[in-house]
Amino acid sequence: MNLEDPKIMNQAYEMREVGMYVSDIAKELSEQTGQRITQMALWGLLNDRKKREEEANKEPDELDYPSRDELENIFSVRVKDGSKKAGEYHGTQIRRDFMIKILKKYMDKEFTYDEVRMDLNTWVTDEPFFQHWDYLKHYNYIVRVSDIKFKFCDRVKKWKRFGEV
C-alpha cells in the first residue's frame, strides 16, 4: 500500500502521537483501507516527518542572517526618505515603511502571524501582507520560537539598538 494519501498519512500521524504502536497502526489502517499497510512503510513515513520537522526548526547558520547592508535597506529611516520600496519579492514590492512599523512595534516581543496581520495589515487582501511576512521569514529577519510564535533575530535587535532606526 502506498502511504501517499494525505488522509491516511494524517491518521497515521495522529495515531502515533497518541501513543499507539506502529504494529497496531498498521493493523488498524489495513483493516480500514482494505489494503495491506506494512510496519516498514509506516516507519518510513513517520521518520520522514520527523526529519522534516527537525529541519524546519533548525536554527539558521550565522551566514544565513541578514547583513548590515540588508538591514539598512529594509529598516533604515534614512533610506526610507529616499524611497518607499526596499525591493521586490515574488512580484510584490516590499515597502520599507511597513517593515519599519513591524520592527518598531515587535522588536522586543514574541509575536504571531495573526497578531501582526490583524494589527498592522492595511491592504484590501492579505496577499501583500503575507509576502512581506514571508520575506522576513525567508531571509531570517524573524525566527520561529514555537509552533506559532516568532521574534526578530538577535542581529536585527543589535543593529536597531546601535543603528539609526
Q: What is the pLDDT of residues 39-97, one digit of tens each?
A: 988 888 888 877 776 666 666 555 567 888 888 888 887 765 667 888 888 888 999 98
Domain assignment present for 1: no
Grid cell listed for 66: 541578514
> Is the full-model pTM beyond 0.75?
no
Res 87: pLDDT? 84
**How many domains does the chain fold into?**
2
Residue with cell 501582507: 129
Domain assignment present for 151: yes
Sign of CA dihedral 148, 165, 104, 123: negative
Give residue 42's domain range. 6-56
- Do 86 and 137 fall within a single domain? yes
- CATH of residue 91's domain is 1.10.10
Domain assignment present for 107: yes
Determine the Cα–Cα distance for residues 67 and 163; give it in Å rounded to an integer: 13
Q: What is the pLDDT of residues 143-157, one digit of tens each?
A: 988 889 999 998 888
Res 47: pLDDT? 84
